[in-house]
Amino acid sequence: MIQQLTSSRWSHVFTTIVIIAGMGVGFFLRDNALTEVRIYTDIQFGITAFYPAAWSVSSSTSYPFRARNLTERGFPTTIQITVQTVPDTISPRQVFDTLSLERLQTLASYNVISSPVNITLPDGSSASVVEYAYADSEADPFLERIPSIIRGQDVVTIRRGQAITISFLSDEKTYDANLSTFEEFLQRLRL
């Protein structure tokens, strides 16, 4: 009877150790899956970007790179790079002003939250950052829903006669949580 009780205790201890080890491996694999990145390269514009592996990537004539987290409910968090030819005398502030004028015409309740702030990108080049917000509502009246507030950041740098705008958009509810993904994206971005 005593020997049976002792082996029963050892089986409980062994089972507990196996469960804890399995959970540790599960957390490790989950963390790796969440932080896995893929590489995007555009030779024409000289862009090399590392984006989250679970995100969907596209490009069009208006932007060479856009990554979206389509697994999110509601508005998908988006990182987009646009490139436009500009005169050598233009400043990032003028690029922001042009973007604001365009967005005022197309986005509901568009509002600039911060004035341009100068930053240094990882490659040592200078850039400017502006934060903004707007209301995202459904265009189809039959699918009407309560508008959500979208917050965004634009990082503008001017190189070789081109204004490169790196935009980050996220639902206001998830903005702070997703901002670290954008900051990591900027750290690894090569232009």
Asked if residue 39 has pLDDT above 90, the reply is yes
CA–CA dist 56, 110 (Å, integer):
26
User: Do residue 98 and residue 16 come from a single domain?
Assistant: no
Residue 174's Cα: distance from chain center in Å? 11
User: Do residue 88 and residue 19 come from a single domain?
Assistant: no
The values of phi and psi at residue 41, to 5°, are -130, 130
User: Do residue 76 and residue 11 come from a single domain?
Assistant: no
CA–CA dist 167, 109 (Å, integer):
18
User: Do residue 66 and residue 123 come from a single domain?
Assistant: yes
The sign of the torsion formed by the CA atoms of 141, 147, 148, 150 equals positive
Q: Tell me if 1 sits within 8 A of 17, measured CB to CB.
A: no
CA–CA dist 169, 151 (Å, integer):
6
User: Do residue 62 and residue 1 come from a single domain?
Assistant: no
CATH of the domain at 160: 3.40.1000.10
User: Do residue 50 and residue 125 come from a single domain?
Assistant: yes
User: Do residue 27 and residue 42 come from a single domain?
Assistant: no
Domain count of the fold of the chain:
2
Report pLDDT for 10: 72
User: Do residue 26 and residue 108 come from a single domain?
Assistant: no
Average of per-residue pLDDT across 38-46: 91
- pLDDT tens figures, 95-137: 999 999 999 999 989 999 999 999 999 888 899 999 999 998 7
- pLDDT tens figures, 2-34: 555 566 777 777 777 778 777 766 666 555 555
User: Do residue 125 and residue 155 come from a single domain?
Assistant: yes
CA–CA dist 130, 112 (Å, integer):
8
User: Do residue 134 and residue 93 come from a single domain?
Assistant: yes
Domain that holds residue 30: 1-35
User: Do residue 18 and residue 98 come from a single domain?
Assistant: no
- pLDDT tens figures, 130-180: 999 999 876 666 666 678 899 999 999 998 889 999 999 999 999 999 999
